[in-house]
Structure 1
Amino acid sequence: MKALSKESILGLIALGLIVVMSVLAPGFLSSQNITNMMFQIPEFGLIALGMMVVIVTGGINLSITYTAALAGVAIALMQSNGYPMLLSILVGIVVGLVCGYINGFIVSKIGVSSILVTLGTMVLFEGIVLSLTKGNSISGFSESYSLIGNGYYMGLVPLSIIIFILFAILTGVLLTKSKWGRSVYMVGSNPIATLFSGVNNSKILMGVYMYSALLASIAAIIMTSRYNMAKVDLGSSYLLQSVAAAVLGGTAIEGGYGKVMGTVYAVVIFQVLSSGLNLLEVPRSIVGVITGAILIFVLIINFAKAKFDEKKQKKMQEANAA
């Protein structure tokens, strides 16, 4: 019998958690709660996917939420000054891509560690946002813009969840069906061997950080539209959660492995857990403790499994040699 993949197991866990919460938490399956979760998943999910793509290469993007904040503020400034919605969105995406280019350039061209680079750019982007906003929130979006984060398709499905699904599919296709995606996994597995095989590691890493920034910018569009404002801490709570979702989703923290479906399942698990515990009136601080405990537990399990697989492979090699 073929063993279930990490992603299949996560899917079953997500399903089981939904069943448990529907029994324990009053009103969990109510239309209002389901709708609330459908509105919250896209912004978190997009940032988690952006983080996952970087982690697959063995890096990390600590500035991803501040990239989103800066892109959101750019859109808000354009909208509040009377510029057309589409132009404002385009400017926001360009600003986000510039942030991604800065990260990608320093990591890929200069060779500085991603954790140091993105820690520095996190502070840089935060400072820029604070300078632009003076610490206040910016509002004044058009009604049509607010539909992106609050509107429905055919009166049933939130537009934002459709946007998330489309970008999740796009990310999956890029990683599994394109030459660039295969190179991303190769860089994460063994960058030296990848370089000698003729792959331009620098170009691949640049693309990874810019794609991560693109997803952060799309998340910013959804968040600013949904909340009708942009501010410095826009989506900041998703920073560590996105790392947790990527790792829980099966992405190897050392790089080389990660699937979109696993990250999506992890996002659903976190959202169901958060929503269910809120309905059970569990304090937010305790929810944070539980999230942290889950991340540590998953890291320990993944580490133990990797060591076990390594020993198993070594024994097989010794047996074959004998």
Structure 2
Amino acid sequence: MSNHASKRRGTDSSYDDLSFSIKRWLSSDGNLTRLFVIMVLVFVTMAILSPRTFLSLDSFSSMAFQFPVLGILSLAMMLSMISGGIDLSIVGIANLTSILAAMVMVRLIPEGASAGTSLLYIAVGIVCAMIVGILCGLLNGFAVAKIGIPPILVTLGSMQMFMGLAIVITKGQAIVGLPEQFSAIGNGSVVGIPMPLIIFILCIGAAYLLLNRRPFGMKLQLLGSNPTASRYGGIRNTTVLLKTYALSGLLASIAGLVMIALTNSAKADYGTSYILQAILVVVLGGVNPNGGFGKIAGVVMAVLTLQFLSSGLNALHVGNFFKDFIWGIVLILVMVINVVSPRMKWKRKPAG
């Protein structure tokens, strides 16, 4: 065989390996491939309907500041769903913890404080918010794992409890006047990259390592797939659930901190629409609502898809009430597709 033919075969082999790698990354029963196509179609459709507004630099900059809050909340929802449960309290945790952080920063920082003193109180407020978020998550996990209450009922009740507690603390009023150093977290940039986006990327990296490079990820997926088999396999289901809901609470608190940094204020009813949107993102991203399976890449693409759709609808001057209607329709359609698609594939399989 000639050297030319050998090199050509080697090149073809490398190309085939690369093609296989891309296909393997995009394909998870077709979920990632389908989601990638949907994301591109939504982007192209909105670009055609409103090219000047949607494709402007200001629009993309605004998106980069907006979607990280939903993205972090979706990661929190993803963890609970992989375990076979759900966490409806993430927005309640986000608001409660952010209000506590805002109170520390606004009411404890003395007038005329130096930059170093302000940063110290800001750090104390952030740490307090994260600790309270973990404790709220542990409360949910204890009720689910130890008492045995269904997750949807536990987190529905705790959502009302956390939001009610936030209203009592603030008396329904907004906390304003956050320090400028803290507001920079929501409105500042590093080498042109918005700070909220950087925080979201860090959360993605941490979640990826946790689910794919640590034993906890395997235990969580086994628990979500079959709790009985997981228990007989030597996995402490209670410990895994406690860790899962604690991490969900931690991520919710981080989302709450980014949210108040963006708005420079804290209030008990911020972001209530994020609950439905987070569920939509997770389901659209290919996470099994029954537990046991989910990929970070799918959730990220789903967040971008919803942000493209939301920004495009805003450019077309579509009202918020109609957008809520669209979110509900999309959620139902995605769940129907996820249920029907495997059945169609099973019917198409040749017998024998």
Output the TM-score relative to the length of structure 1.
0.94
Partner of 2:4: none
1:272-311 pair list within 5 angstroms: 272-308=308-344
Residue of 108, 116, 125 corresponding to 2:162: 125
Pair member with larger Rg:
2
Partner of 2:148: 111
Helix, strand or coil at the partner of 1:81 = helix
1:24 aligns with 2:49: yes
Alpha-carbon separation, structure 1, partners of 2:344 and 2:241: 31
Runs of 4+ off more than 6 Å: none
Any conservation in 2 of the 1:66–1:234 contact (CA below 8 Å)? no
1:55 aligns with 2:91: no
Letter in 2 for 1:147: A
CA shift for structure 1 position 286: 1.8
Alpha-carbon separation, structure 1, partners of 2:133 and 2:289: 24
Partner of 1:91: 128
Any conservation in 2 of the 1:79–1:140 contact (CA below 8 Å)? no
Helix, strand or coil at the partner of 2:272 = coil
1:79 aligns with 2:108: no
- For these two proteins, the number of residue pairs brought into alignment is 315
Partner of 1:168: 204
CA shift for structure 1 position 91: 0.5
Residue of 186, 193, 206 corresponding to 1:149: 186
Alpha-carbon separation, structure 2, partners of 1:310 and 1:56: 24
1:181 aligns with 2:217: yes
CA shift for structure 1 position 82: 2.4
Helix, strand or coil at the partner of 1:27 = helix
**CA deviation string 1:218-261 (max 9, x = no partner):** 10110111101111112211001100110000011111111111
Residue of 244, 253, 270 corresponding to 2:280: 244
Moved more, 288-297 or 19-28: 19-28
Partner of 1:11: 36
Residue of 248, 266, 269 corresponding to 1:212: 248
CA shift for structure 1 position 31: 1.2
Output the TM-score relative to the length of structure 2.
0.86
Letter in 1 for 2:311: S
1:158 aligns with 2:194: yes
Alpha-carbon separation, structure 1, partners of 2:103 and 2:346: 53
Alpha-carbon separation, structure 1, partners of 2:294 and 2:345: 17
Alpha-carbon separation, structure 1, partners of 2:221 and 2:346: 20
CA shift for structure 1 position 12: 2.9
- Superposed CA RMSD in Å reads 1.6
**CA deviation string 1:104-146 (max 9, x = no partner):** 1111111111011111111111111011000111122111000
Identity of aligned residues (%): 39
Partner of 2:291: 255
Structure 1 unpaired stretches of 5+ = none
Alpha-carbon separation, structure 2, partners of 1:109 and 1:309: 39
**CA deviation string 1:135-170 (max 9, x = no partner):** 11112211100000000112x110110110110121
Partner of 2:260: 224
